[in-house]
Structure 1
Amino acid sequence: MFDSAATAKSFVKDRQTLTIDYVPDRLLFRDEEARGLAETLSTVLKKELGRPSNLLLFGKPGTGKTAVVKSVLDRLTKKAAKLDIEITVPVINAKLANSAYKVLYEIAEYIGINREEKKVHFTGLSMGEATGRILQFIQKKKMHIILVIDEIDSLVDRNGDDVLYSFTRANDRMAKGGFITLIGISNSLTFKDKLDPRVRSSLSEEEMVFNPYKVDQLRQILLERAKLAFNEGAITDAAINLCAAIAGREHGDARKAIDLLRVAAELAERAHTGKVEEKHVRAAQEKIEKDTNFEVIRNATLHEKLVIIAITKSKNGNTGEVYEIYSALCKQADHDPLTQRRMTQIISMMDQLGLISTDIVNQGRYGRSQKIKLTVPLATIRDALKDDSLLSEFID
């Protein structure tokens, strides 16, 4: 099999362009957002070196938020270097960092504090001490920091907004000894509702919403990506159109559209067909959907996982019972439960993702009630949570 793979002629000329990490030189249909972001951040290039406003970027997954930020910041740092202006741009993914302390540790590593005497160790410090050391270092070195926290809603869901409060208030005490501008990227349009009003006012000095791509826009994006990824004639127009239609119909998610194209190409290569056709796209869709639920549950936040477990344990599936079970699970896990309103928002998000289905049932004089049902097999949930030492024991 390996010999065959090594000698077979591939119709993919650049696989990197089909990965989610690849950022093209120009992001189609995001010129307005990129220009707005650049205008806000350009303050750092002025002679008086002003602090750019904090920004919050909202939008569903796959709408280009992270790609636009990375592209604009890459151009900004290159321009700053030519002007002999030093800026530091840590980009932290809060979901991958997994905890507020890990976010602080990654920031410390990026800005170079751990080469000094007062380090932020991987473990061992309080949150307050770790935050204080980072801010003192920035002030001492008079650093100009543009801190990007991707999936910032995950940080707040897990650990609250104390870290954000510290960073958004840091500039008040730094005077002319450096600054921090915070760019938060969130997949949740209701993210601000979770924040303390003081944090909300400081963090969202400017906001930007990224709307989902339309089918024709996805088609153009895929055509451009296909030119970079495939040899000429290696993919049919029908296959590209189908990828765009599937992704556009569901979420307007460019990341999913490109991922669908990548998996279709892999299946076509294994079949030695010589080109990617519609049948490969349909097979890729089936394969991805099978794996998606597992990945979504495995990478969910702690409270999202607890809500899923509560639904599995609920007998009648109404919101009140699910919340009671969820609250009991939180106590067992030694965590404070979210409000019932917030849990309802999580349930709504899961419904959109297709993990559950919700129906409003008329109960006569007892009013109406929401009934929640899982659409994911219990075995998938067990597999997704089996490596979570805190939660695996809660699954029957």
Structure 2
Amino acid sequence: MSDIDNIFDRAASGKSLVKKREALTIDYVPEKLPFRDEEATALAQMLAPVFKSTRPSNLLLFGKPGTGKTAVVKTVVDRLKKKSGEAGIEVTVPIINAKLANSAYKILFEIAEELGLNREEKKVHFTGLSMGEATGRILQFIEKKRMHVILIIDEIDSLVDKNGDDVLYSFTRANERMVKGGFISLIGISNSLTFKDKLDPRVRSSLSEEETVFNPYKVEQLRQILAERVKIAFNDGAITTAAINLCAAMAGREHGDARQAITLLRVAAELAERERATKVEEKHVRAAQEKNEKDNNVIVIQNATTHTKFVILAITKSKNGNTGEVYETYSALCRQAEQEPLTQRRVTQIISELDQLGLVSTDVVSQGRYGRSQKIKVTVPLATVKDALKDDPMFSEIID
């Protein structure tokens, strides 16, 4: 235990570089959102009809991760609640993250919780109701109480990918049924610019009455965002300008993702503090980037479907890496785990999806007069794959 005690002793006695650590988390929303005034103004204008007790249009916000969509929505909603309260107008704004909720029914349950419906007799139980009954109880409650509801579904594309658009159809058509009063408007936040293409045309037309696109931040914008965040989060002189610039350059080069840049800052600070450095330097940012890339790959593999995990494992065990051999290895692993293998066509689709995620590479190799063959290999270290699968009981026995 002496090693553990030494770690804690060093942490307790070492100089802290960070004065407000929560300012380096992805959930932190600063008072000022640089470079998003235009989007925030547009959103406020779209929500303004609530002050006349009129339903605002449904709205879709698009943009890659880390472009400020959720932060802008939360900032504008906070102002809306404050101003509507001062005006004596009651507005209810449930904010649901579809990715965290993980299922359409869980989303309905959380909406019911936020609305206060689950304090009533005809509540939405955690399980046991049909989707139609749960949705009906929510809409009846809104109508009965004549509530003004602005429902925000973050990562709405995750809901549609996993469960289809039936829930969205019900909510976008709900106001036609509310003859006694009340309304519900829907704001969907999506990381996918092609999200609308997956929707039924009837849902698409109702859901996207208004649209706003959040463009990725440029490197110079990220640098200024980080400089502002550093003032809030770090002690004076605790980070070099070069380290800030490198964080902005790395995040801007890839996706223009402010969350990624801030996460990079946080991890770099943690690494610097562990080695008891006097300030965060470029070397700490580079080490943080390397660590984040490994951690991200572990998370993606851990959250993959069971058969996607089998495919990844099959590729690591394949000697030649061609499609046929990978499928044979995959099928053998499935049988070993008493699982029914998917078709070869579906496995090929999974490999293509993994290629897009950057977890595998698929190169076409010439075999002379025998034609050409696809060579598949995992692009992440085997240790990362094993680390991601070790706690899954289905794989713990077969990863070696």
TM, length-normalised to structure 1 = 0.85
* Letter of the 2:117 counterpart: I
2:99 pairs with 1:103: no
Aligned to 1:160: 164
State the match for 2:4 in structure 1: none
**1:1-396 alignment runs, 5 A limit:** 1-45=7-51, 47=52, 49-300=53-304, 302=305, 306-307=307-308, 309-310=310-311, 313=314, 316-317=322-323, 350-359=354-363, 373-377=377-381, 380-381=384-385, 383-384=387-388
AA aligned opposite 1:97: A
Distance 1:270 1:388, change over 3 A: closer
RMSD of equivalent CA atoms: 3.2
* Count of aligned pairs: 379
Residues 61, 348 of structure 1: CA spacing in aligned structure 2 closer, same or farther, 3 A cutoff? farther
Query: Deviation at 1:274?
Result: 1.4
Q: Any idea what the Cα deviations from partners look like across 1:184-208, whole Å, max 9, x if unmatched?
A: 1111111111111111111111111
Cα distance, 1:141–1:181 mapped onto 2, change above 3 Å: same
**Per-residue deviation, 1:12:** 1.2
- Larger Rg: 1 or 2? 2
Label 1:152 to 1:347 Cα distance change in 2 as closer, same or farther (>3 A).
farther
The Cα of 1:175 is off from its aligned counterpart by: 3.0
8 Å contact from structure 1 (residues 356, 376) kept in 2: yes
Q: Is the 8 A contact 2:15 2:273 kept in 1?
A: no
Match of 2:171, SS? helix
Deviations 1:80-138 (A, max 9, x none): 11111111111111111111111111111111111000111111111111111111111
Partner Cα distance (1:298, 1:139) in 2: 42
**Partner SS, residue 189 of structure 2:** strand
Aligned counterparts of 1:372 and 1:60: Cα–Cα separation in 2:
28
Alpha carbons of structure 1 residues 44 and 213: separation in structure 2 relative to 1, 3 Å: same
The one-letter amino acid of 1:10's match is S
Preserved contact between residue 219 and residue 249 of structure 2 (Cα < 8 Å): yes
The 8 Å contact of residues 382 and 392 in structure 1, kept in 2 or not, is answered as: no
Q: Distance in 2 between matches of 1:143 and 1:365?
A: 72
Residue 150 of structure 1 and its aligned partner are, at CA, apart by 0.9
Distance in 2 (CA, whole Å) between partners of 1:75 and 1:347 is 46
- Structure-2 separation of matches of 1:94 and 1:61: 15
Q: Secondary structure, in 3 states, of the residue corresponding to 2:251?
A: helix
Q: 1:393 to 1:275 in 2, by over 3 A?
A: closer
Q: Counterpart of 2:177 in 1: which secondary structure?
A: helix
Cα distance change of structure 1 residues 360 and 17 upon mapping to structure 2, 3 Å threshold:
same
1:370 CA displacement: 7.4
CA distance in 1, matches of 2:169, 2:398: 35
What letter corresponds to residue 354 of structure 1 in structure 2?
G
Mapped to 2, the partners of 1:358 and 1:171 lie a distance apart of: 49
Kept in 1, the 8 Å contact 2:322–2:374? The answer is no
* Aligned twin of 2:3: none
**Matched position secondary structure for 1:174:** coil
**Residues 84, 93 of structure 1: CA spacing in aligned structure 2 closer, same or farther, 3 A cutoff?**
same
Letter matched to residue 6 of structure 1: A
Answer whether contact 1:63 1:210 (CA < 8 A) is retained.
yes
Measure, in 2, the Cα distance between the counterparts of 1:179 and 1:33. Answer: 24
Shift in Å at residue 273 of structure 1? 1.4
Asked whether the equivalents of residues 165 and 199 of structure 2 are also in contact (C-alpha less than 8 Å), the reply is yes
**3-state secondary structure, aligned to 1:261:** helix
Closer, same or farther: CA 299–270 of 1 in aligned 2, 3 Å = same
Inter-partner Cα distance in structure 2 for 1:254 and 1:290: 19
- Mapped partners of 1:142, 1:368: distance in 2: 66
Letter of the 2:148 counterpart: H
Native 8 Å contact 2:238 2:280 kept in 1: yes
Following TM superposition, by how much is the alpha carbon of 1:214 offset from its aligned partner in structure 2, in angstroms? 1.0
Contact 2:24 2:262 (C-alpha < 8 Å) held by counterparts: yes
Letter in 2 for 1:115: R
Q: Which amino acid aligns with 1:187?
A: N
Is residue 265–residue 280 contact of structure 1 (8 Å, CA) maintained in 2?
yes
Query: What does the per-residue CA deviation read over 1:226-281, in whole Å, with 9 as the maximum and x for residues that have no partner?
Result: 01011111111000001111111111111010000001111111111111111111
